Amino acid sequence: MRTQELPSVDQSYGVEVMRKGIHLGSLAIPIVYFFIDKNTALLILVPLTAIVGLADFIRLIHVPSGRVYDRYLGFLLRSHERFDQGKKLNGATFVLLSATICVLVFPKVIVITAFAILIVSDSAAALVGRRFGRHPFLAKSLEGSTAFFISALFVVAAAPKIQHLPIEYLIGFAAALLGALVEASPIAIDDNLSIPVCIGAAMWLMYALFLPGVNVYSLG
């Protein structure tokens, strides 16, 4: 889902605000995950991802289903997600898929930070970039990418830590910068998947390099 674009956009700003309002609802994933264990989270996410993904796939291969979907929900889809424009799964499917992958692969403290950055900062980048974006930066705008990075810093500051060491915050800040670069990059992978996976992998590597004695699984 390409969220932040320069002024030539495919939908009105009002629809973008609606899309991002729905997107922010996905903050429930990292918030709920803080209070439950990994196995419980996967018991919820795996079937939910399968159901949503299957429904999304059916609308792409079944013409009547695709037309009905586009008729009632098409205004929330980007042009490349619509049945009549291509064969691409929508953003909701990728959000759930990335949540499942992140919970399966990464320690909880990293998942919560990475996924919260995706939800909050991707939304900030889209809204600021569409309204105020004037200066190109990679495939997006400098204004939107700056909004991503600044909002991600607030997420990092608020996200749970293992020992609240200064280096943990620096790791988060570095991951926030990486997330902004990934979001702005013209890569083919949907950024609902690429952003949290890249942030998660980078944080895990930095914890291993700079805090080898810290148990990254201590959060549960």
156 within 8 A of 173, measured Cβ to Cβ: yes
Alpha-carbon gap, residue 89 to 158, rounded angstroms: 32
Q: Please check whether residue 42 lies inside any domain of the structure.
A: yes
Q: Which two tokens stand for residue 38?
A: 């990994």
Q: Please check whether residue 8 lies inside any domain of the structure.
A: no
Q: Please check whether residue 1 lies inside any domain of the structure.
A: no
Alpha-carbon gap, residue 90 to 85, rounded angstroms: 12
Average pLDDT for residues 122-133, to the nearest whole number? 93
Q: Please check whether residue 7 lies inside any domain of the structure.
A: no
pLDDT in tens, 177-195: 999 999 999 988 999 999 9
What pLDDT score does 77 carry?
64
Average pLDDT for residues 110-139, to the nearest whole number? 95
Alpha-carbon gap, residue 23 to 1, rounded angstroms: 11
- Cβ neighbour number for residue 81 with a 10 Å cutoff: 24
User: Which one has a higher pLDDT value, 220 or 122?
Assistant: 122
Q: Please check whether residue 47 lies inside any domain of the structure.
A: yes
Q: Please check whether residue 215 lies inside any domain of the structure.
A: no
The mean predicted confidence, pLDDT, of the chain is 88
Residue 140: phi and psi, rounded to 5, are -125, -145
Average pLDDT for residues 93-102, to the nearest whole number? 97
The total number of structural domains in the chain stands at 1
Structural domain harbouring 69: 13-210
pLDDT at 86 over 70: no
What pLDDT score does 206 carry?
98
What pLDDT score does 9 carry?
41
Task: Tell me how long the chain is.
Answer: 220
| 3 band by pLDDT with thresholds 50, 70 and 90 | very low
pLDDT at 204 over 90: yes
Q: Please check whether residue 27 lies inside any domain of the structure.
A: yes
Which amino acid does the sequence have at 195? I
Average pLDDT for residues 105-121, to the nearest whole number? 98
The secondary structure of residue 188, as a DSSP letter, is S
Closest by Cα among 56, 72, 180 to 126: 180
* Sequence-ordered list of residues with C-beta below 8 angstroms from that of 106, at least 6 positions apart, any chain: 114, 200, 201, 203, 204
Collapsing DSSP to helix, strand or coil, 75 comes out as helix
Q: Please check whether residue 85 lies inside any domain of the structure.
A: yes
